[in-house]
Structure 1
Amino acid sequence: AANPLKCDLLNKLGIDNNKLRTAAVCVYPARVPDAYDIIKQMGLTDTIQIASVATGFPSGQYPLESRLQEIKFAVSKGATEIDVVLDRSLVLMGKWDEVYNEVVQMRQACGNAHLKVILGVGELGSYENVSIAHSLY
């Protein structure tokens, strides 16, 4: 829905129906073309962004080349934001240089699309790992 709230609720709140819009939709890479087509049909490609989870979301347990191809596919089909997950095994083993290098490659694969890293703090093993992972970006 381009308007996330019902018109009657917006009226009760005194908000103009045309001023409140959905900022983005977030879909799996295979659904990016569908989201793009629908948003285009609505004439809202300049208003509603398309975000796509990628890199083997939610686990991140795919080969790096596969994760990079997933990013490139989503961007080529219209995604303007890519939400990635880290390879948790690298985090849990403290391989911070590898984690950093993977994120650099993910950033490059995004081209002009915005990159968002989902830390998945409950999966990183310790607050120290969360802190280190956060500081890499």
Structure 2
Amino acid sequence: ASLKVTVGTANGKPGDTVTVPVTFADVAKMKNVGTCNFYLGYDASLLEVVSVDAGPIVKNAAVNFSSSASNGTISFLFLDNTITDELITADGVFANIKFKLKSVTAKTTTPVTFKDGGAFGDGTMSKIASVTKTNGSVTIDPG
């Protein structure tokens, strides 16, 4: 068994704002998620990060969730500050990344990929040894 972390896909026209979800699956099998930090890379010449918002599986996001984006890297941090009561206990959307699509001359698919580093901890803050990461992408089609 492993925690499955998946970056979704989106598509649109230059100038559109699209949402790419980051989802968690098999959370309960991994004894929940108490903490995680990880990084995604994207092509800043094609995508502009408008916002990164916690998804519905994150409890008390104002306290427990943080992210930042710059120079083609988005960082995510989650920590259940209660260490028990606000664990991620369900599968679903962990975060939504809103990208504004920049100009292209031809249909272009650009990856949104996991970068090295980061870690995931279960409900007891023990390291989750097996995490399956699936990259996503954004397709920009000028039409």
TM-score tier by shorter-chain length is under 0.3
Superposition TM-score, scaled by structure 2 size: 0.26
Superposition TM-score, scaled by structure 1 size: 0.26
Determine which structure has greater relative contact order: mean sequence separation of CA pairs < 8 Å that are 6+ residues apart, divided by chain length. 2
Q: Which has the higher strand share?
A: 2
Q: Which has the higher helix share?
A: 1
- Structure of greater Rg: 1
